Structure formats: structure tokens, C-alpha cells
Structure 1
Amino acid sequence: MAQPTKWHERWLARLPADRLIMRLLLESFHEHRWKYLAAAGAMVLVATATAATAWMMGQIIDALSTPDNRGRVMAVGAGVALVFAFRGVAMYVQAVLMARAGNRIVAQKQMQIYHRMLGQGVAFFNSNASSDLLLKVTQSAQSARAIIDTIVAGFIRDLLTLIGLIAVMVYQQPVLSLVSLVVAPIVVYGVQRILRLVQDVMQQEMAGLGEIIRVVQETSLGARVVKAFGLETSMANRMEAAVRQVEDRNNRIVQLQSATMPLLDVVAGLAIASIVVLSAVDLFGRAPGTAGQLMSFVTAFLMSYEPAMRLSKMRVVIESNMVGVRMMYELLDTKQTMLESPDAVPLVVGPGAVELSDVCFAYGDNEQVLRSVNMAFQPGKTTALVGPSGGGKSTLLNLLLRLYDPTEGNVLIDGQDIKAATFSSLRANIAFVGQDTFLFAGTVMDNLLLAREGATQDEAIAAAKVAHAHEFIEKLAQGYDTVIGENGSFLSGGQRQRLSIARAVLRQAPILLLDEATSALDSHSEVLVRDALESITRGVTTIVIAHRLSTVMNADEICYLENGQIVERGKIDDLLTTGGKFKQLYDVQFKGK
């Protein structure tokens, strides 16, 4: 399965947010429990100190009303300083521990997502846009952290702070506290109304972010096409539409998240006004209390505004980040398209005999590309695959690399089914050069040394000489230390191809796969590389795909593939003598010469 099925996506979308949140917490808390417990302890101290601050305000007023009692004034002053210092230290400890745990969770989730991607087969990447994957790796992990931080801070610091302040309010003015808390249901109702709109807006914003990344990638990778076809205006319009969509969604989210603020301000204003009026009236035969008690009550009420506001917005913040978390688990729960056998063993390669036994293959539900192919590639010999495009030649190489598994049949190397071999041992014994060369950002030497772990620079230079790449590398600004840009953008197509061939030489594998390896070379370079390949393929099982027959004239055997089947095979002289498909192709390319 290349990607989540529609059923899987619908199931994830319907899965209650609380279950996904619980899964996220259980996965993240265990390893970082000591940091979070210590941070929680610091939050308890912050909540206690905040409540103590409100209580101290009453002591300050009462102490200032009796200035002659210097001892009490000094004690209250020292107490205030101590409470604020205590609160500041606790807030610092909480912030540092939460940041460290949160940053670690982001890093772990990003690596977890990336490892999951690495475990997927090529079919997965064919079915998922790179911009969508990039968004999931970056944004989803940040969303996971935001939810955890919001829950921990909300349920410990803000909730305890609010409880402590309410306790001070009740202790100082129980009747006025009852009046002020009557308005709480109004706030809850308003927040719930806002919450229903947040998730849809966030999903639309994620789609807009994905489009922005996609446009930038296409502009970067397809710069020549964009310029050649004058597509600047079209690309700019796409980007403007995507940016405007994200801008609109962000504005909408800010409006929704901020809607709780005026709601609380209005309610708080009405409550304070009511308290001021009622404080001058005897309620139920109870006196309003001392000035210190009233000040302590009002202070606690005003200080409760901030934690109450954060708590009221907590669910909104969680819902706004749930889209990213769902995206993350959608990727993590995607069934892997290519799995190593649980009891896989290292491949033991001898002479390098490759065999296909009744191999059939189709991409997804499409028409079969290979149909009951039976073929043995002679060890240490070169076999050329020729024929029209779409005949299954590149697919056959993909099966040998186990980028895909046959839908039927087996692929064998020295009599061992490659499904039973470890990925590392299989690919360590195969070198590959494709027609679409890919180079990593970095220096020339960096790209060469990736071919084989433990390879030396001297070996890399020797491989470059074999591939006739050494000469042009030496002419670069920093030679082998020259940075070649993304996918070798600073090099010509022929230079990139020769570096790719040099990597294959350096790999020193007993099996060599060449898919149009000289397609990007000029005639002079092609002759040089062809001579180099002739020398390095001696004693190596080589399978080469070529559309230009001039590159495979010295092959030990030629196979003509058409419509997923081997139509003809044999030595070139025999194929030319008997006539047939290959002879027709030969006559077309060489004009009967």
C-alpha cells in the first residue's frame, strides 16, 4: 500500500482528538517524565507564589494602614520580596525544563517520521508529493510539542494558579466570590462556539502551506523550464494565491483565538463593577470587610484573568494543532511498502549469477509491466537489455535492487531469493548508474565517498580517473573540494553522469546495473566512458539498458524486451543473422551498415 487508503484517512479524521492526544502523551511522557515532573513541581510553586502574591496585597494594605507598627511593615515587605523572588526562580526552572523536553520531542518526532519515510519503498515517494512530506516532517512535530506544552502548562500551572486565586478570593470575600463566579458558564459557552470553527480553518491553512512549498520547489527544480517557457507570471500567480490563502486563514485563526479575549474582558468588567457596588452593601447581614481584605480579593480576581484566559483558549490551541498531529500519525501509521523479512540473512554473493523465475509485476492496479519473465544473467558477463520504451527494462532493474517486489515469481542472486536477504547486504553488492543522475549537495569528494563506507580519497580519485572525470574535476575552482550545488547544479549533464559512474566504480560491487549510463554524454566522452566501462565490467555481472546500440555492441548477450516479455535473446551476430526485432532496430540506427 503506497499511501494511507481513503478508509484510513477517514478513520483518522473521525478519531476523537482525545484519543490521539492520549497516544501522543503516552509516547512522549515516558522518556521525559523526570523533566516534566520537575517542571510540574516548579509550576506548582509558581501557582502557590501567585496565590500568595494576591494574599500579600491584603497584608500590604493593612500594614500601610498602621505605619507605626514598623515590625509588621518590615515583615510584610520582606515577605513580598521573598514571594516574588521565589516565583521568578520557579518560572525560570519551569521554562527551561519545558523547553528542553519540548525541543527533544520535536527532534524525536522529526527523526521518527523521517525513519518511517526511509523505510518506505519507492512506490511511497511516487505517491506522495515531496512538499507534503516536508510539511509533515516540520509542521507536525511542532504541533505535537505545542499540544503537550499547552496541556502540561494548562492543567498544572494555570489550573492550580486559578484554584489558588479562587481560594484567596473565597477566603477574603466568600459572598463576592460567589457573585463573580456566576459568569463562568457564559465564558465556557462562548469558547465552545469558537472551537467548532477552528479545525476546518486549520486544515485549509495546512493545504495552503503545502501549496507554497510545492511552488517554491517547482520553481527551484524547474527554473530552466520556467524561464524557457516564460512561466514567471503563471508561477507568481500560483504563489500569490497560495500566500493569500494562508494569510486569510491565519487572520481567521487569530480572530477565532482572540475572540475569547473580549469575551473575558466584558465579563470581567461587569464582574468587577458588580463587586465594587456590592462591596459597599451589606449582603445577607455580612459587612464588606476590611480594606485589606477587599484589596486582596480584587487583586486575586484580576490576577485570575490571565490563567482563566489561557485555560479558555487551551482547547482552541489544542484543536488548531490537532491537524498537524493527525498529519503526523497519518504518515507514521502508513503501511510500509517495502519491508525486510523478519528473519532476513546477509546475502552471500559468489560469482554473481542473477536469475528471474516466472517474474510478473504491475504498478498498483495498472496493467502488468512484466509477464512471466524467466531469465538467467551469466555471472561475470555483460547482458544488454534493449527494446522500445515501456517494455519493462527499467522495471527489471528496480526489481533487482528490490525497490519493488514482484507480484509473482522470484528474483535470485546466486540461488538466494533476495526477499530473504537484508537490504544492506543486497545493495552493498550492487552498483547502479541511472539515466537520471542524482548528486547530493556538498563537494565532489563528499559525493564520491558516499559510494562505499570506508573508501579513501585516493580510491575515490582512482575511480574518477577510470570514469574519465578526474580531468574536469581538477579544473574546478577547488578541485575535489568544490561545492557542486543542489543535485550538482553547477555541473553539466555529462559531468554529473561521469561522477555517477565514478561512484559505481568506487563501490566495487560484483553486480553492476547501468540504465542509459551514457545518455547525457557527448560523443567524445561517450567513447571514453564506454572504454572505461568495458574495463571495469570484466568479471562483473553487468546488466545494461541502452537505447543507443553503439553502447552495447560488445555485450556478451543481448535481450530484446517488448510488452513485458523477452522476445529475443542471444549474441549480437546470431541476432543479426536470424533477423527479427533486434535486426530491425539495428537497421534503423545504423542505416543498414
Structure 2
Amino acid sequence: MTDTPRKLTDDPYGAAILIRRLVMEQGALYWRRYLVAFILMGVAAGATALSAYLLGEVINKAYVDRNVHGIAMLSIATIVIFTAKGAATYGHTVILSQISNAILARNQRQLFAKLMRESIGFFSDRHSSEFLARLSAGATSVTQVLSLLINAVGRDLLSLIALVTVMVIQDPFMALFGFLIAPPALLIIRKLVRRIKGLAHQQFTGNADILETMQESLQGIRTVKAFTLEDTMRARIDANIAAVQQTADKMAKVSNRSSPLMETLGGVAIASCLMYAGYRVVATGATPGQFFSFLTAFLLAYEPAKRLARLNIELNSSLVGARKLLEIIDAPASEPDDSDKPALRLSEARVEMRDVGFAYRTDEPVLKNMSFVAEPGKVTALVGPSGGGKSTVLSLLLRLYEVRSGTITIDGQPIADVSRQSLRQQTAYVGQDVYLFRDTIRANIAFGKPGASDDEIIAAAKAAYAHDFIMSFPHGYDTPVGEHGAQLSGGQRQRIAIARALVKNAPIILLDEATAALDSESERLVQAAIDHLCQNRTTIVIAHRLHTITHADAILVVEGGEIVERGRHDDLLQRNGRYASFFRLQQHNATPLAPQAAAV
């Protein structure tokens, strides 16, 4: 069976299709400005060709006609020509730079907006450094591709046409001879393109690996220092850098492999033209101006011709980054826009899970037909061993993941039938691992309610028992928190997070081990802040320290994705089941629910 011939359109990210797409989708947006740049490039190309032509006239006026007045006039014309060329070059360079900056910004915004429409599951299989690489290198590559095309057509091709015109005018035979170097040069370039593609891909992935190691080392610097991993991380990044350096060296060799032969071919062509032109001047009486004009045009045409010959190499190298960017942008969003769905309307904020099943991976269920009700204005606590599915419950309530079976309703409305934004606007989440943005304390609290007034921010901070320690800083609420809140203690970060949830004033509160990693004093303050937060709100809390949820209206013991016990604290102790065992073991500072791992 013979293979079907592969068409250019079979690969949506093939070079031809990708170039056409970039031109039509991105370059076409700025066609008016490109047109102005083309006109200016034409002026510059014409000026270059005219200067080569005038050089022959100057030679003739000086050495043949001996015409001083003619030389003076041509000199003035030369000044005008070069001034026009300089102005045109400046104009089209600035315009193209501005277009490139606009396209770069547009692609960066587009990629970031697409990432914001992806689900948590999308990011769980990838490292964040990959997206940094795609955002920087990918977006830059798009502008490089368009700039290469525009400069190739507008600057190099127009200049080459204008200069070839001068060459043909001065001596058609020599012009034809000069073109003989093009076919072998193009044949060499064609053989290098496939190798360039592979090396460019290796460079991109290698740079992403460097970013990954750098990011992990800096974000985990405490762990690196504590475990004396400096040499280990240094060895890892040295290996990444060495791999990229090796690939870059190969790229340099391959991409420039054509240069020696092209230079040799160019030298042969120039030498042949010199010999032929010299013979014509000496033997046939041709004017020296014609000789110099042709030679100048030929030499000036050599560089744009060489750039055009290498265009395919440069394009394929840059297209790798553009391809990486568009692969993310083109892929269907894993969390598609659902703003057309009705908004969640709350009356009581009654949350119900009914026969909910969920699995992160096929055949590995995390929740098995789980059902419970979180009553309005009350506290429902989830306790149990690690891996039981407690945190998954909160993720499903926020629709960070979608249930596989069953339904989750709030006031009788299936959350799958309402917009995610309206659902998340009605909930406030505080986790064990608090994330603070690299900004001020004021800004981090205000993230809970964009546009919150200073009075609202301060009131929330006071309710979270954070106002006093905030005001102890020299800059108060304008104190920077550092990356991930590194300039604050764990308890301080937790109280900022609670203030952020308080200022949001959401009717549903989700707490995931909010005090698990704190010392006793910090826990006391944070717990007091949580009590403020939960007042008259429907609260679902995951607890490791059971004494923090003894007041809960309902306690659910979750094991293996199922609720094995439910009731209030005193009732569960009287039953002497799993909860009672768990509680007594904690009271004696033993490992809970042995031999299973400690609760998350």
C-alpha cells in the first residue's frame, strides 16, 4: 500500500500554514502602518540604487568630461539622496518597532487570558516555567517572524530589485553572470532547514528547563538551604545550561554553514565581474563610470541577496517559538467561558452534595457517592485521614474540577448550571497554604473585594485580629509582604487571608486546614478571626486539629471517599467510633488513625 502524499495543509503548524496565519491574523491588523513602512522602505531602496548609479556619473564627470560644475551638482544630489535615505530608514525602523511591540503585547495578553481560562487540572501536569517560556520566547518569536518577512520583502527585496535595475542598465551581461551564484546557494540553504527546526525545538525546551530549575530553587530556597542542596541544584542547572549551550553551538555551526560557500561564490562572481568590466574599459572603450556604477550596485546588492537566501533558515528558527505559543492559544479551554449561564442566586446558602462521585484519574475514585447537607448559617466540619477526599470536596464546590457523577446544589440550584464567576463570587476560601501576592498588605486584603474602601479594609483586618500587627510596621497597610508573603510569619499570613475573605463578605465560607501549621498562640488568634468570619455564614471546614471544630453543628468523618460517621462532637464521642478514636489519639499526642497517614 502506497502512502498518501503529505499535503502542506496536513500540519496546521507547518511553516507555510503558520506564516500565512501570522500574516493574515496578526500582521493584517496593522496593514496601514505596514503600508507606510513599505513606502519608506521603497524610498530607502531607491536612494541606495540611485547613489550607486550617481557614482558612475561622478566618475565620468571627473575623469572623462572633466566637468567641475557637473560634479558639484551631483554632490548636492548625493547629499539630498542620503538625507532622504536616512529619514526613510529612521521612519520605517520606528514604525516596524512600534508594530512589533504592539503584536508582542497583544500575544502576551492573549496567552495570559487563555491561561486564566484553564482548569486546575490543566496546570497539574505542567510546570509553570513552561508558560513563562511560552509567554516570553513564543510571543517574541511571532514578532520576529513578521519582522523577518517585512524586512525581507520591503527592505531587502526592494533594495535588490532597485540595485539589479542599475546593474542591468549598466551592463546586462554582467548582471546575468552575477545571478549564477543564486541556485547553488539556495540548494545549500534548503538542506539546512530541517536540521535548524530540530535544534530550535531543543533550544526552546532547554531554556524552559533552565527556567524550571531556577524557579524551583528560588521558590524553595528555605528547603535548599536547610537540606544543603546548593551543590545539587547547582549541578542540575549546570547540566541544563550545558545542554542549551551545546545546542546553541550546534545551531551556530549549522545556521552559518552556508556562509563560507556563499562568500566564496560571491568572491568568484565579483572577481569575474571585475575582470570582465576591466577588460571592457581597457579593450572596448567602455566608460569607467559604468564600471564603477555596476560594481557599486553589485556590492550593495550582495548583502540583501545573502539575507534573502538565509530567510528560510531564520524563519524556521523563529517559527518554533511561535508554534509553541499558538499551541496553547489554539487548544480548547479546559475551563470554557460560561458567562452565558444564569448567575447563582442565594436565599439561604444551603449547600448539598448528592451522590457525588469523582476521580482525578480513571479507575481511581476519590469520592464515592458522597452525600451531605451544609445547613445555612452553620458550620459543617470534614475530618479524617489524608487522601480521604476532604480537599477534593472544596475543589468541587468551587468548580475547580467538575463532578463525574451526582450533583452539587446551592439553594436547589445545580452549580453546574450557573456561571463559575457567580459561584465563586458567593464563596470565600482560606487554605492552609496561604498565597499572598507580591504587593502591599492593603492590596492583598483588597483582592477579596476589588475597589474596597480603606474603611472596609481596616474593618476586615480588625475582625481578623490583624490590625495591631499591621500598624506595628513602619508603613502600616502599605507594607510590602514580599514574594508569597515571605516577610510575614505564618500566623500573620493566615490573618491577612482571613481579612481578605472577610472583606469579600461572601455567604459561603470554605476553610481548608486554616490553623494546621500554626503554633498555639497564632492558632488562638487565627481561630478567633475564623469565628468572626463564620458568623451567620454557611461554613464548610476541613480540620486536622479536632479541638478547633468541637463547636461545629455537624461533623463528617471522611475515609476512602465516603462519609463513615456524622453527627455533633458529643454524639460522636459517645458512639466511640472512628471520630472518638481520632479525638482521643490527638488528646494523647499520638498519630491519628494509625496506621494511616495524618490528616491533611
- 1:482 Cα offset (Å): 1.2
Matches within 5 A, 1:416-435: 416-435=413-432
Q: Is the 8 A contact 2:352 2:371 kept in 1?
A: yes
Q: State the shift of 1:471 in Å.
A: 2.3
Deviations 1:243-262 (A, max 9, x none): 22222222332333333333
- SS of structure 1 residue aligned to 2:368: strand
Aligned runs of 1:215-230 on 2, under 5 Å?
215-230=213-228
Aligned to 1:146: 144
Question: What is the TM-score of this pair, normalised by structure 1?
Answer: 0.94
Q: Does 1:312 align with 2:306?
A: no
Q: How does 1:343-382 map to 2 (within 5 A)?
A: 343-365=340-362, 367-382=364-379
- Are the counterparts in 2 of residues 183 and 267 from structure 1 also a CA contact under 8 Å? yes
Equivalent residue number for residue 568 of structure 1 = 565
- 1:70-109 → structure 2 map (5 Å cutoff): 70-109=68-107
Q: Tell me by how many angstroms 1:342 deviates.
A: 5.8
Of 569-578 and 107-116, deviating more is: 569-578
CA contact (8 A) 2:210 2:240 kept: yes
Q: Structure 1 regions of 5+ residues with no counterpart?
A: 1-10
Name 1:4's counterpart in structure 2: none
What residue is the counterpart of 1:8 in the other structure? Answer: none
- Which consecutive segments of 4 or more residues in structure 1 shift more than 6 A? 11-14
Describe the superposition over 1:134-193 as per-residue Cα deviations: whole angstroms up to 9, x where unpaired: 000111011110000000110222112111111111111111112221121111112222
Counterparts of 1:243-258 in structure 2 under 5 Å?
A: 243-258=241-256
Equivalent residues, number = 581
Alignment match of 1:262 (pick from 237, 246, 260): 260
Q: SS state of the match for residue 310, structure 2?
A: helix
Distance 1:15 1:331 in 2: 12
Query: Is the CA contact (8 Å cut-off) linking 1:340 and 1:419 kept in structure 2?
Result: no
Residue 18 of structure 1 is matched in structure 2 by 16
The offset of 1:94, in angstroms, is: 0.6
Alignment-derived partner of residue 109 in structure 2: 111
CA distance 1:366–1:128, change in 2 (3 Å): farther
Q: How far did 1:66 drift?
A: 4.7
The one-letter code of the counterpart of 1:211 is D
Structural RMSD (CA): 2.0
Structure 2 partner of 1:194: 192
Summarize the Cα distance change of 1:536–1:193 in structure 2 as closer, same or farther, 3 Å threshold: closer
Deviations 1:568-591 (A, max 9, x none): 212222222223221221222224
With over 3 angstroms needed to count, the CA separation of the structure-2 counterparts of 1:13 and 1:474, relative to structure 1, is farther
Output the CA distance in 1 between the equivalents of 2:528 and 2:227.
38
Question: Equivalent residues in 2 for 1:49-88 (5 A)?
Answer: 49-66=47-64, 68-88=66-86
CA shift in 2, pair 1:14/1:439, >3 Å: same
Q: Output the CA distance in 2 between the equivalents of 1:250 and 1:16.
A: 23
Query: Paired residue for 2:409, among 412, 418, 432?
Result: 412
Task: Sort the Cα spacing of 1:366 and 1:465 in 2 relative to 1 into closer, same or farther, 3 A.
Answer: farther
Output the amino acid matched with 1:386: V
Q: Following the alignment from structure 2 to structure 1, what is the Cα–Cα distance between the partners of residues 415 and 268?
A: 75
Match of 1:297, SS state, is helix
**In structure 1, what is the Cα distance between the partners aligned to 2:318 and 2:166?**
34
Residues 21-54 of structure 1, C-alpha deviation per residue, up to 9 Å, x if partnerless?
1111111123211111111111122222121121
Question: CA offsets per residue over residues 366-389 of structure 1, 9 Å max, x none?
Answer: 511111122221011110011111
Letter in 2 for 1:445: R
Indicate the residue corresponding to 1:203 in structure 2. 201
Q: Match of 2:103, as an amino acid?
A: I
- Matches of 1:48 and 1:420, distance apart in 2: 64
Distance 1:535 1:120 in 2: 33
SS in structure 2 of the partner of residue 514 of structure 1: strand
TM-score (norm 2): 0.93
Aligned partner of 2:163 in structure 1 is 165
Q: Distance in 2 between matches of 1:13 and 1:499?
A: 50
Query: Residue 328 of structure 2 aligns to which amino acid in structure 1?
Result: L
Q: 1:420-445, CA deviations, whole angstroms, 9 ceiling, x for partnerless residues? A: 22232211110000011100001111
Matched-pair contact (CA < 8 Å) for 1:44–1:160: yes
> Secondary structure in 2 aligned to 1:304?
helix
Q: In the alignment, is residue 393 of structure 1 matched against residue 390 of structure 2?
A: yes
How far has the Cα of 1:337 moved from its partner?
A: 1.5
| Alpha-carbon contact 1:369-1:563 (below 8 Å) kept | yes
2:40 corresponds in structure 1 to 42
CA distance in 2, matches of 1:525, 1:494: 5
